[in-house]
């Protein structure tokens, strides 16, 4: 079974990823498509929300079968997608190679040569510089704006990062480069936490993970290895959730000591934990803005394809910062004006965009 849900296109083409996972089902794809409409609206992109998925376990497929599934998805879907209609992207278990097959199939079927029918393509096939790091970089930009509004600009801040995959590692690398007064003292993967009160060397940790290593075997000067769960309860200023959904729930919400939580994963704080932590004074930077860096640079990729341009990485990063700083300004202003927390403010902002600025 395969799905594509087109939730809202009042502000532009439907936009959202396609995932390959055995548990993909219509309810989930529908919820994720709705979330994309909120996300593109909250950050002011001229795009709507959609999502797709194939209920398949890609680990059980060989390369030829994977290519066939990818192309077949487009064979069925092509009348309903396209550069100005619906622009899918990678998501769980789908990568630039899969997207390249999909774009090729779309071009064969329709004659389209812009390659703007999908984003998240490989660099040689119309992808954008800066896309890999975009979600992590966006998280850094959003956090910097939040800390500024809290009077903490330029102040030392300690950070723990849960999940050190694409998003968590890039968040850490960009933070270490752009904000040397922020100290990333802990990071975790699915098995272990690594901790150094003097600050981790995130570049080393990132290289180690990229080479396939796990934190349960990580060794480096001054680094202590702890269990994976220890990270959530650390006495840090900022907790960055960059692993999975529902990382903080009723089971562990009492452990959290950080004043700020950044939602880089989709839905890492459950409804119950969100209510409890907000009441306790924790400030949660909502995912629909904090992790929107990826879809913003997807939009830049689409623009470059349509205009036949290739922007430099610096141009991409500068434009990403403009979009997110402006979204954060609107978010903080909405929270002040409506006297609500940032999560509610993000939904108010998105709903206003969806209903008023069509
Ligand atoms: P990824 O698979 O590259 O990394 C996930 C990391 O989380 C891995 O290192 C894994 O070991 C770790 N992890 C899993 N369970 C854990 C646990 N219990 N404790 C600590 N670490 C754990 O995935 P990614 O692309 O980095 O995405 C991370 C999250 O961000 C996902 O929820 C994804 O939906 C969301 N997201 C990603 C993007 C993007 O552009 N990649 C955009 C928006 C949202």
Q: What is the pLDDT of residues 111-163, one digit of tens each?
A: 999 999 999 999 999 999 999 999 999 999 999 999 999 999 999 999 999 99
What is the model's pLDDT at position 244? 87
- Atom of ligand 1 lying closest to residue 164 CA: 9
* Cβ atoms of residues 292 and 268 within 8 Å: no
Average pLDDT over residues 14-23: 96
Rounded distance from Cα 243 to ligand 1 centre (Å): 4
- Atom of ligand 1 lying closest to residue 167 CA: 26
Q: Atom 2 of ligand 1 has which residue's CA nearest to it?
A: 165
Structure tokens at 358: 């069509």
DSSP, collapsed to helix, strand or coil, labels residue 319 as: helix
Average pLDDT, the chain: 96
Rounded distance from Cα 277 to ligand 1 centre (Å): 22
Average pLDDT over residues 231-249: 96
- Atom of ligand 1 lying closest to residue 292 CA: 43
The answer, yes or no, to whether any atom of ligand 1 lies below 6 A from the CB of 91, is no
Give the separation between CA 3 and CA 90, rounded to whole angstroms: 14
pLDDT at 358 over 70: no
DSSP secondary structure letters along 25-52: -HHHHHHHHHHHHHHHHHTT-S--EEEE
**CA distance from start to end of the chain:** 33
Rounded distance from Cα 356 to ligand 1 centre (Å): 34
Rounded distance from Cα 163 to ligand 1 centre (Å): 6
* Cβ atoms of residues 141 and 325 within 8 Å: yes
The answer, yes or no, to whether any atom of ligand 1 lies below 6 A from the CB of 188, is yes
How far, in whole angstroms, is CA 265 from its chain's centroid? Answer: 6
Ligand 1, residues 49, 206, 242: which to mutate, most atoms within 8 A of Cβ?
Answer: 242
Rounded distance from Cα 245 to ligand 1 centre (Å): 9
Active site residues: 51
Q: What is the pLDDT of residues 60-107, one digit of tens each?
A: 999 999 999 999 999 999 999 999 999 999 998 999 999 999 999 999
Spatial neighbors of 47 by CB under 8 A, at least 6 apart, are 11, 12, 13, 14, 15, 40, 87, 295, 299
Give the separation between CA 334 and CA 332, rounded to whole angstroms: 5
The answer, yes or no, to whether any atom of ligand 1 lies below 6 A from the CB of 186, is no
- Atom of ligand 1 lying closest to residue 209 CA: 9
Give the separation between CA 178 and CA 246, rounded to whole angstroms: 29
Q: Residue 86: in which H helix or E strand, if any?
A: strand 86-90
Q: What is the number of other CB atoms lying within 10 angstroms of the CB of residue 78?
A: 18
Average pLDDT over residues 169-184: 97
For 153-178, give one letter per residue: b (16+ CB within 10 A) or e: eeeebbbbbbbbebbbbbbbbbbbee
- Rg of the Cα trace of the chain? 20
The answer, yes or no, to whether any atom of ligand 1 lies below 6 A from the CB of 249, is no
Q: Atom 14 of ligand 1 has which residue's CA nearest to it?
A: 190
Closest to 320 (Cα-Cα) out of 299, 297, 345 = 297
């Amino acid at each position: 079974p395969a799905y594509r849900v087109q939730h809202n296109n009042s502000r532009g083409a439907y936009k959202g990823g396609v995932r390959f996972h055995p548990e993909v089902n219509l309810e989930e794809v529908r919820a994720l498509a709705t979330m994309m409409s909120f996300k593109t609206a909250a950050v002011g992109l001229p795009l709507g929300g959609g999502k797709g998925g194939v209920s398949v376990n890609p680990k059980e497929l060989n390369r030829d079968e994977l290519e066939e599934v990818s192309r077949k998805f487009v064979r069925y879907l092509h009348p309903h997608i396209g550069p100005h209609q619906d622009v899918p992207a990678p998501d769980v278990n789908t990568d630039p190679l899969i997207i390249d097959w999909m774009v090729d199939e779309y071009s064969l079927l329709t004659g389209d040569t812009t390659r703007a029918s999908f984003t998240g393509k490989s660099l040689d096939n119309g992808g954008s510089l800066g896309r890999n790091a975009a979600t992590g970089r966006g998280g850094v930009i959003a956090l910097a704006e939040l800390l500024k509004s809290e009077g903490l600009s330029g102040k030392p801040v300690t950070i723990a990062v849960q999940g050190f995959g694409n998003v968590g590692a890039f968040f850490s690398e960009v933070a270490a480069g752009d904000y040397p007064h922020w100290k990333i003292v802990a990071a975790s993967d699915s098995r272990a936490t690594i901790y150094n009160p003097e600050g981790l060397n995130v570049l080393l940790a990132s290289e180690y993970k990229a080479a396939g290593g796990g934190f349960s075997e990580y060794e480096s000067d001054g680094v202590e290895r702890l269990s994976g769960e220890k990270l959530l309860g650390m006495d840090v200023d900022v907790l960055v959730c960059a692993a999975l959904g529902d990382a903080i729930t009723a089971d562990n919400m009492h452990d959290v000591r950080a004043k700020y939580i950044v939602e880089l994963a989709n839905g890492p704080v459950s409804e119950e934990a969100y209510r409890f932590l907000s009441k306790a004074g924790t400030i949660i930077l909502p995912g629909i803005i904090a992790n929107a860096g990826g879809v913003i640079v997807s939009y830049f990729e689409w623009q470059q394809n349509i205009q036949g341009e290739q922007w430099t990485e610096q141009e991409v990063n500068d434009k990403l910062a403009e979009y997110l700083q402006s979204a954060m300004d609107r978010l903080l202003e909405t929270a002040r004006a409506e006297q609500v927390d940032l999560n509610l403010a993000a939904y108010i902002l998105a709903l206003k965009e969806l209903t008023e600025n069509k």
